[in-house]
Structure 1
Amino acid sequence: VIPFEIWLSGGYIIIALTWIFASDNILKLIISESIYQLSYFQTIKGAGFVFTTGVMLWWLLRRKRLELEEYANTLRVVNQNLRQDIAERERAQKELAVMTERFEERVAEGIQEERQRLARELHDAVTQTMFSANMIAESLIVMWERKPEQVLDGLKQLQQLTRGAVADMRMLLIELRPRAIEEIRLPQLLKQLCESYAGRNGIVPELIVDNHILLPVNVRHAFYRIAQEALNNISKYAKATRITISLEEKDGTVMMRIEDNGIGFELDKVEDGAHFGLKIMQERAQAMNAIFLLKSKPNHGTSIYVAWDSR
Structure 2
Amino acid sequence: RDLLPALEGASKANKPLLIVAEDIEGEALATLVINSMRGIVKVAAVKAPGFGDRRKAMLQDLAIVTGGQVISEEVGLTLEKVKLEDLGTAKRVVVDKESTTIIGGSGTEAEISARVDQIRAQMEATSSDYDKEKLQERIAKLAGGVAVIKVGAATEVEMKEKKDRVDDALHATRAAVEEGIVPGGGVALIRALENLGELKGDNVDQQTGISIALRAMEDPLRFIVSNAGDEPSVVLQNVRQGKGNYGYNASNGEYGDMVEMGILDPTKVTRSALQNAASVAGLMITTECMIADIPSDDKSSGSGGGGDMGGMGGMM
Task: Check whether TM > 0.5.
Answer: no
Higher helix share: 1
Give the TM-score taking structure 1 as reference length. 0.19
- Flag the structure with larger Rg: 1
